[in-house]
Amino acid sequence: MELQQLVNRIAAEVTPGGEVAGYIPALARTDPHAFGLAVATLDGEVFGAGDHLTPFSIQSISKVFTLALALSRDDGVWSRVGREPSGSPFNSLVQLETEQGIPRNPFINAGALVVTDHLGLGAADRLLGFLRRESGNPALDVDPEVAKSELGHSDRNRALAHFMSSYGNMRNDVDVVVREYVRQCSIAMSCADLARATLFLARHGVRNDGTRLLGVSGAKRVNAVMLTCGTYDAAGQFAYRVGLPGKSGVGGGVIAVVPGRCAICVWSPGLDARGNSVAGVDALDRFTTLTGWSVF
């Protein structure tokens, strides 16, 4: 089946469901019935269906790109954050106390705050520059309404950052790190933008302009951590159903990587209890079942 027919079929078959994230007020106003799907192939061609050109809040999908940017400089971040699944909610504090302020992995909030701190001042601008180049969309930006709303409801993230600071695992001022982190999460992108921006992970580290962001091992590692930790305490279920490295965000987006073939982004704002898009995971399950494209 042609990819265009395939994405059309999946978009026609899935039913958006679940609850829109309510803890960030600006996100709570998103249409729960929206659905978009885009597949970008290695040559940069994009096959899209539904609301694949509608920008949405990337939220925790940003964590993949900040990790890749940190690893493109050096491996030092791994002394400050682990790479084991947490089995806990994405914003949980509990493991930090028994694990000396070292978060389990870079894709839960605590871990992503450490990665942002590691990137240092200007982390969000660096991320924006990278995403504009890779997506080919120079107009990409932070959604100021989401950023303001999220910053006004960031007690939990501040608590995580202060707690890690008490263990010596924050270099910059906590308020500055939380502000940078919130800006990263508040970037608005469409499925088409995100699928193109994720292609470097399908191309074993090579950016859309042919230069390398990561070595082959670096790209393998980011993909591996996505598979084991990208959907928080549902990572096992996601691997079981989809069989691909994937990363979700509470804006309802999910990206997935088929190494050597394509990058996929699906968006539907209705979430399950673990904060993953219900129709998004369903669409990816159908995609790998219909194509047979998985890492297994």
Ligand X SMILES: NC(=O)CC[C@H](N)C(=O)O
In the annotated binding site for substrate, the residues are 60, 109, 150, 157, 181, 232, 250
Question: Exposed, middle or buried by CB within 10 Å (0-12, 13-18, 19+), for 252?
Answer: buried
For the four alpha carbons of 86, 29, 253 and 276, in that order, the dihedral sign comes to positive
Q: At 216, phi and psi to the nearest 5?
A: -60, -40
Q: Which residues contact 268 (CB under 8 A, 6 or more apart)?
A: 14, 16, 34, 35, 36, 252, 277, 278, 279, 280, 283
Closest CA to 245 of 217, 223, 221, 267: 223
Taking the complex as a whole, the smallest distance from the CB of residue 251 to ligand X amounts, in Å, to 7
Taking the complex as a whole, the smallest distance from the CB of residue 203 to ligand X amounts, in Å, to 25
Two structure tokens written together for 258:
């088929």
| Residue placing its CB nearer to ligand X in the complex, 76 or 144 | 144
Does the active-site annotation cover 23?
no
Question: Binding to ligand X (CB under 6 A): which residues in 67-96?
Answer: 90-91
| Residue placing its CB nearer to ligand X in the complex, 36 or 253 | 253
Residue in 7, 39, 57, 60 annotated catalytic: 60
Does the active-site annotation cover 63?
yes
Closest CA to 232 of 109, 115, 150, 114: 109
CA separation, residue 153 to residues 17, 157, 177, 262 (Å): 25, 9, 15, 36
Residue in 39, 146, 206, 250 annotated catalytic: 250
Does the active-site annotation cover 60?
yes
Please tell me the distance from the alpha carbon of residue 253 to that of residue 269, in angstroms, as a whole number. Answer: 7
Among 18, 20, 36, 59, binds ligand X (CB under 6 A): 59
In this chain, which residue has its C-beta nearest to ligand X? 60
Residue in this structure with the two tokens 């079929």, named with its chain if needed? 9
DSSP 3-state assignment of 40? strand
Instruction: Give CA 41 to chain center in angstroms.
Output: 19
Does the active-site annotation cover 166?
no
| Contact between 170 and 18 (Cβ < 8 Å) | no
Among 16, 245, 275, 280, binds ligand X (CB under 6 A): 275
Taking the complex as a whole, the smallest distance from the CB of residue 145 to ligand X amounts, in Å, to 14
Residue in 39, 81, 232, 266 annotated catalytic: 232
Q: What is the chain's Cα-based Rg?
A: 17
Question: Binding to ligand X (CB under 6 A): which residues in 91-130?
Answer: 91, 109
Number of residues lying near ligand X (CB under 6 A): 11
- Which parts are annotated binding residues? 60, 109, 150, 157, 181, 232, 250
| Residue placing its CB nearer to ligand X in the complex, 83 or 261 | 83
Among 249, 269, 270, 280, binds ligand X (CB under 6 A): 249
Site track 154-193 with ligand X (rule: CB under 6 A), x = hit: ---x---------------------------x--------
Two structure tokens written together for 222:
């980011």
Does the active-site annotation cover 250?
yes
Which residues of this protein are in contact with ligand X, per CB under 6 A? 59-60, 90-91, 109, 150, 157, 185, 249-250, 275
Active-site positions read: 60, 63, 181, 232, 250
